[in-house]
Structure 1
Amino acid sequence: MKAHVADLRRERLLELLFAAEDVPILRRRLTECAARAGLGEPRRSDFVLAVHEVACNAVEHGGGAGRLLLYRCDGTLHCRVSDHGPGFTEEAIPPDPPGLCGGEGGRGLWLTQQLTDRLEIAAGAVGAVVTLAMGLR
């Protein structure tokens, strides 16, 4: 089997399964790994907050748990979060900032989109796969 060129350049930094009680540890480990990867402040804090929002969505809407994969590739830090929920598409992200009052959904996804350089949402075999990316330069 031939490996994809992009896969050969990936440097895996962190991989873990998580549930609600693991989110504080996830944030701490993600912060440490992002710092070692070269993501400086304030972008590091933005990245960690964005991943936190996606991880909390995986716990709340995606079956109670998720899987996180953090890797560096071509000067960019990527974080992929997958879950076993019903899945969703990019249409779930409101085009305008959601109000702070009311039952509007999508606030965390909207914030994630604002804080990162790239946000991709795809359907997995089961659930959703959300990938966030931030340039290290």
Structure 2
Amino acid sequence: MDETFGPSRGRDALRPAPVRLPEAGDAGGTLLDRVFERQDITRVRHAVQGLLAASGFAGDRLQGFVLAVNEIITNAVLHAGGRGRVVLRPEGHSIWCTVTDSGPGIPARYLHPPEIPEAFEVGGRGIWLAYRLCDEVTMATGPIGTTIGLRMSRPAGRAASGLVNGLSTGG
């Protein structure tokens, strides 16, 4: 029986994935795929920001998406066993970021778009921010882990098959 994933594997439930940066002509492939831990949060945030900027994001949309990704990867570290896996990929006219962990699942009160947290409430802002900043948020959660998907539409004129790092691919 394959026990790659599951509660018996603990911290080893997520297999390391190499960092994959886009190559010339690779307009539709995965931009980033890596396992992260606490010490990697800043590096992941900077990698996501650079890849999104290269995909045409700028200003508030860029900063908002980066903030949402940062909040979700931080939640994985703080609440779901200390590590996770982040995948950033283009899909049509959007960029998707999925964050997967092997934690105990998200409590029921956070499974729906949350209300604004109280001013002095500790925590509870990461998922709330993701819902406010992204075009779409998806969640799949259970006792062996969670995957959160964040989607942001690309800026006009930056379709997945047209440009890579600002250069035409001829498509």
What's the TM-score once normalised by structure 1's chain length? 0.85
Q: Residue 12 of structure 1: SS of its match in structure 2?
A: coil
Gaps of 5+ in 2: 1-26, 156-171
Which of 50, 54, 64 is the matching residue for 1:36?
54
1:98 corresponds to 2:99 = no
Shift of 1:45: 0.5
Shift of 1:25: 0.5
1:121 corresponds to 2:151 = no
Distance change (3 Å), C-alpha of 1:30 and 1:90: farther
Q: Residues 78-126 of structure 1, C-alpha deviation per residue, up to 9 Å, x if partnerless?
A: 00000010112674156321013134x4211011100000000102682
Which residue number in structure 2 is paired with residue 85 of structure 1?
Answer: 103
Q: Which has the larger radius of gyration?
A: 2
Which residue number in structure 2 is paired with residue 132 of structure 1?
Answer: 150
Q: Is the 8 A contact 1:15 1:68 kept in 2?
A: yes
Gaps of 5+ in 1: 1-8
Q: What's the Cα RMSD here?
A: 2.0
Identity of aligned residues (%): 35
Distance change (3 Å), C-alpha of 1:72 and 1:90: farther
Distance change (3 Å), C-alpha of 1:94 and 1:79: closer
Which residue number in structure 2 is paired with residue 111 of structure 1?
Answer: 129
